Structures are given as C-alpha cells and as structure tokens.
Structure 1
Amino acid sequence: MHNATSGAGARGAFTPGTLALVVGVFLVQLGFLLSYIGSFHHPDPQGIPVAVVAPQQAADRLDGLPGHPLEPTVVKDEQAARERVEQRDAEGAYVMDRRGGQDTLLVASAAGGPQAQALRRVGEKVAAGQDRRLKVVDIAPSGDRDYESLTAFYLIVGWLVGGYLLASLLGVVAGTRPARPGAGALRLAGVAVYSVLSGLGGAIVVDPVLHALPHHFVALWWLGALLVFATAACTMALEVFCGIVGIGLAVIIFVVLGNPSAGGAFQKHLIPSFWRAIGDWIPTGAGTTAVRNIVYFSGNALGTPLLVLAVWAVAGTVLLLVGSVRRREPGLTLPL
C-alpha cells in the first residue's frame, strides 16, 4: 500500500504543468547564457559618437575607419567639443592641432571605462597612421570609489531585484490577481511605500556609507523609488495576465535582456546591434544612464531615461488595475 501511494505521488508530481514549468526554466537558463555571452564575448566599438575639431576631410577619414568604430560630427573648437560630451551628445572628442604634431582625445570614463579605453585605442591608431602624437584627457572621470563607473549599474540591479522580488512574493502569498480593483490599488500603495524606502536605502549605501556616488543623495533616492515602483508594478501586471509565469517573464525582461544591454560592463556602442537597440528602453539601461548623468554630467540628458521609467511605471499600474477587473478564477488565495 505504501509503495502504491508513493508511486501515485511521484506520478502526480510530474504533471504536464510541472513539465512545462521545467522546460520554461530551462529555456530561460539558455536565454540567460545566450544573452550575456552573446553581448559580452566580443566587445567591438561601433558608431561611437565623437565630436571632431578638424577639417571635414579628417572627419571623413574617421568616419571611414574599418568596422566603422566612430560616428564623427565636426564642431568649431575644443570648447564646443567638450560641451557635446558633457551634454551627452557625444561620447568623446578628437581635437586636431593644425599648428603642431600632437592631437588631443577627450574621453569621459564616467560614462563607462571600457568605452573610454576603446576610444583611446582607436585614437592612438588614427594618430599613429598620420605620424602624430596623441594626448588623452579624461574630462569626466569616474569617482575614486567608483571603479570603471560600474556603481551605477549595480545600484540599478539591486533596486530592480528588490522590485521584482517584492512583486513575486506578493503574487505567491496573496495571489497573482487582486480580487478587485480596490485590492489592486491597495497593493500598489504598499509597493509605493516600499519603493520610497528602497530608494532611500540604496542612496544611503552609495553615498554616506560607501561614498561611491557622493553628493547626489536626494536625486538618487527618488530615481531609485521610481525604478523600484516601475519594476514591481510591471511584474505584478505580468502576473495578473500570465499567472506565476509572469515572474519568469519579468526575469527575462529585466535580467536576461536588461542587464547585458544596460551599459554596465560594456557600453551600448561596444555590444552587438540587438542589445544596443533595446538597452535604452528597458528600466535597467534607462536607470543606469540616469544615475551616471545625475552624478557625473550635471543632470544633462535625463529626459529620455526618466520618461522611459515613468512609462513603465504607468503601464504597469494601468495593466494591473485593468487585470484586476477581469473575472477572478476560483482558488485559495489571501484577500489582498
């Protein structure tokens, strides 16, 4: 009798639904490997926007380099070139000295160390090919405690993890679909409070505790709150329409696709075109860019990343509330 019961229990464990979940996890794992290795295994500069202080003929030579590593725009002088970098219209600048044999390359390692290094390598080859010397000037270096400007990325990842883990926990404990719109609104209110506290916690860690990103406490706090809320709201919306599978979809969006394309380890102009195309429109990439622009570039070019985060937050909120109106499937869940 005991053996028969055990056999029935084992057969019950391997239901079609369980098998589908296992296959889903396996596919997410393969997607994780493909996404990370595919984007990082061969970083190669492609179309890095640079300001050029030189005759148009020289700019055309830069534009025609093998592999098209640079996307040059001619500007009138070095000050204009610096402004384009600081305002995030360019990632670097090549300044040709027409009176001597030494050119100057302006880089901004705060936007990403690997990208600055790639610009340096390209610039050195260009100067050597013209029998000229090259001086490299980092006009926006990352902080002493922010190696390769990686802190922004890991701060964003930490906030994102908190957002989708909270939503996942609520889905498991309280049900993936709120019982009514009022319950959905209450859940969102709780997430909002958590998001404000989460943003505060992250800002405390990177500023007064570790001094990795100092002097921008309030701006980082509220950026973190927006990011966590957007992540959690979208994860809950996915759960409403897809059930527990929505958690896996959130992982695919925010981690499998979002992390490699965010510009953390390698910036967008160093990774293949697919990841380069999606990075700015996923909260991971938008958040990483926003943190760097707040800390190192005087808040320039914040409009697009903040708009992206706001759109995700609003979309998640609306879809969660709309999904709460749909007829609830019977099942044993808590009322919230």
Structure 2
Amino acid sequence: MSHPVSTTTHTPIGRVLGISLALAAVLAVIVLAFSWPAVTAEPRDLPIAVAGPAEAVSAAEAAVDEESPGAIAFREVDDRDAAVEAIEARDVYGAIVLGQEPEVLTSSASSLVVTQLLNGVAAQLEEGVNAQAAAAAAAAGAPGAPPHIEVPVTDVVPLADTDPRGTGLTAALFPLVLGGMIGGIAISVAVIGAMRRVTAVFVYAAVGGLALAGILQGWFGSLQGDYWLNSAGIALALTAIAAPITGFVALMGRAGIAVGPVVMLLFANPISAAAIPKEFIPAPWGEVGQWFPPGAAASLMRELSYFPAADSTFEWLVLAAWAVGGILLSIVGHFRTAGGAEPDAEAAAEGTRTEAPIVV
C-alpha cells in the first residue's frame, strides 16, 4: 500500500527572524512615504502675482514676508487683468492688487490651502490700509474716525458646486493610481505574451478612461470640462502606470510586478502634490513628483477641469513618455525572448504541473 510521505520541514529560525525584520522595515518605509509629505508640508515660495504702485508693492511684500517668511514668491504684473490671466493660466495661485481700491484674488480650484492663506493676507492688508487712513485723517485734523475700508477677496477660478471643497478631485487620484497598478499586475499575471499584454493594457486603459470619467464627472461631479478630453487624460494616465509594469515583467519575469507598488505607490504617489501644492513639499521633491505619472495625472486632471487656458503640454508629455517607455520595454522583452520563451510563461507552465506522490 502506498502512502504520501510528508517532506515539510519547519522554516529555520534565522529565516523567520529575517522575514519578520524585513517586513517591519517595509512597514516603516510605507509609513514614512505616506506621512513625510504631510508632516513636513509648509508653504515655500508660492507664486503670487502683485500689481500696483511700486512703493505700495514693496511695502506689501515686506509686510507679508515678515508675517510668513519665505512663504510667498511675488511676481509683479502690470494690472488686475494681467493678474487674472496669470491665475487662469495657472502660473500663479492668486494675486494682490494694490492702489486706490485694493483687492485680493484667489483660486480655490487651484488650492484651497493657498486660498485660506490669501484670505489671511487680505485681512492683514485691510488692517494696514485702515491704519494708514486713520493716521492720515489724524494728521489732517479731521474729526472722527475715517470710514472703514474693506479689501474684497475675489475667487477668480472657484470650485464647482458639485465639489465645493475639492475633495472629489483630490480623492480621484488614488483610485486612478491603484487602478493603473491593478491593471498592470493583473494583466501581467493573467496574460502570457508581451505583445498581448500591450494590447490588453490599451483596451483596459481605453475602457477604464471612459468608465472613470463617467463616474467622476457624470455621477460624482468631481471633474469638470469636456468629458472626452477627461477620458483621454485618464486613459493615458492608466497606460502610463500599467505599461511600465507589464514592460518590466516582459524583461524580468514576475519580479517586474514590483515596479507598481515600489515606484508608483511608495515613491511617486506621496510626492504627487495631489492634495497640496507642490511648493508645500520640501524641494526638490515637489518638482520631482511632477515627472511621474501620479503627479502629472493630478495636475492634468485639475487643469482639464478648471484651467482650460493653462498649458498642459508638460503633463501630457510626461504621461505619454511613461506609456511609450513601458511599451518599448515590452517590445524589447518580446524580441529578447523570441516572442514566447518568457520567464513568466515558463512559470505559468510550471504552475500547471503536479508533483507525483512519493510511494513506498
């Protein structure tokens, strides 16, 4: 009579300890990656336009810099119209207009955090203007206090009524990143053949772009603007995240799947500046994050929704470069393995084999 013989042995204690320590290190890296940008976030050199007489501009810059050192980098423009154009082109987050009728211009669609900061600047400016008016009236011997001067705050590019806090637009990025990763990983596991994976990525991204745009824009109201353009942007972002995963799998086998979690989720996503301006992230990481799909996708979705006058060429090119790069990796992997002898194909074949029982 034959009986299966168990060959199972206990894992060596050294390996147990090593795995435990490695997992603890991974956990620490994950916490650091997602917590560090938020913990260290503070405004640094935020581009804000300023217009008005030279003397008034200098006084305002000095007062703001004294109150919030290094927070704002002023860019002088000719007048209010030029300031509005700069905001709509997303060259600046807001503006301070000085003169006989001072005004502060904000853009909540660009950043609610910066809008709150500029509201504080408006209150500070209003206090200074009224103090100067009171001093001038006292010097002239005018009876009573002068009328109170208000400094209005105008939201040039406001958020939509369907997403008044911008939470939907911000929250949309993570499903997009996760969706690109899941698509790339699932296709790498379920589809054998580098070029077949490229086809699967294209189909997945196209359908996913239409579906996500329909949900985020048509249902939730998080996205604004043209539906088809938003769909194209999402589809390209999904391709830019999924294609490198399948490309590295074509070159390295199943080990290439790690590209998604390591590069896209742990590294690029925390510095993507999806929830806060890139100037809030310690330099140069805010700028670095814009060269990766999560950061480029976040900027592109915001610009397509609220800033049609902004030049989004850089974001389109970044996403296209990652997508094309992933496809090229798949092509190289395809020809390197003669179109079929891929390591993952062999692994899949091995997974279908069954070991015969040992008999005695």
The TM tier, using the shorter chain, reads: 0.7 to 0.9
Corresponding residue to 1:236 among 235, 246, 250: 246
* Residue in structure 2 matched with residue 51 of structure 1 by the alignment: 49
Code of the aligned partner of 1:162: G
Deviation at 1:203, TM superposition (A): 0.9
Determine the structure 2 residue equivalent to 1:170: 187
Aligned pair 1:159/2:160, yes or no? no
Which residue in the other structure is 2:347 paired with? Answer: 332
Q: C-alpha distance in 2, partners of 1:274/1:221?
A: 31
Radius of gyration: which is bigger?
2
State, as a whole percentage, how many aligned pairs show the same letter.
Answer: 25
Q: Equivalents in 2 of 1:203, 1:127: separation in Å? A: 42
Q: Does 1:33 align with 2:43?
A: no
Partner of 1:246: 256
- Is contact 1:105-1:137 (8 Å) kept? yes
Give the aligned residue type for 1:33. Answer: V
Distance 1:77 1:191, change over 3 A: same
**Contact 1:160 1:228 survives alignment (8 Å):** yes
2:88 alignment partner in structure 1? 86
Q: Aligned to 1:282, which of 270, 287, 292?
A: 292
1:11 partnered with 2:11: yes
Aligned residue number for residue 149 of structure 1: 166
- Quote how far apart the aligned CAs of 1:251 are: 1.7
Task: State the shift of 1:185 in Å.
Answer: 1.8
Deviation at 1:50, TM superposition (A): 1.0
Name the CA shift for 1:270/1:211 in 2 (closer, same or farther; >3 Å).
same
Q: TM-score, normalised by structure 1?
A: 0.84
Measured in 1, the distance between the counterparts of 2:125 and 2:33 equals 32
Q: How far apart are the structure 2 equivalents of 1:19 and 1:205?
A: 46
Amino acid in the other structure paired with 1:207: Q
Q: Superposed, which structure 2 residues align to 1:51-200 within 5 Å?
A: 51-60=49-58, 62=61, 64-65=65-66, 66-96=68-98, 98-99=99-100, 103-129=102-128, 131=131, 133-174=150-191, 183-200=193-210
Deviations 1:22-71 (A, max 9, x none): 76654443222112221112432111111101234444452744431111
Q: What is the alpha-carbon distance in structure 1 between the residues aligned to residue 24 and residue 186 of structure 2?
A: 22
CA–CA distance in 2 between the matches of 1:279 and 1:250?
15
The secondary structure found in structure 2 opposite 1:324 is helix
Shift of 1:83: 0.2
CA distance in 2 between counterparts of 1:256 and 1:86 reads: 32
Tell me how far apart the structure 2 counterparts of residues 206 and 162 of structure 1 sit (CA, whole Å). 14
In the alignment, residue 227 of structure 1 is paired with which amino acid? A
State the one-letter code of the partner of 2:160: G
Secondary structure, aligned partner of 2:172: helix
What secondary structure sits across from 2:165 in the alignment? Answer: helix
Separation of aligned partners in 1, 2:240 and 2:254 = 19
Q: Secondary structure at the match of 2:44?
A: coil
Instruction: Select between 109-118 and 271-280 the one with higher mean Cα deviation.
Output: 271-280
Q: 1:246 and 1:193, CA in 2 relative to 1: closer, same or farther beyond 3 A?
A: same
1:298-332 Cα shifts (integer Å, max 9, x gaps): 25221111111011111111122213333444833
Selected match of 2:274 from 261, 264, 268: 264
Give the residue type in structure 1 aligned to 2:53. Answer: P
Counterpart AA for 1:52: V
Work out the CA distance in 2 between the residues paired with 1:270 and 1:291: 19
- Deviation of the 1:112 alpha carbon: 2.1
Residue 212 of structure 1 deviates from its aligned partner by: 2.8
Q: Match for 2:108: what amino acid?
A: S
SS in structure 2 of the partner of residue 261 of structure 1 = coil
Q: 1:264-322, CA deviations, whole angstroms, 9 ceiling, x for partnerless residues? A: 22221222224312221111111111111111112522111111101111111112221
Aligned CA distance change for structure 1 residues 299 and 53 (closer, same or farther; 3 Å): closer
| 2:223 maps to 1:213 | yes
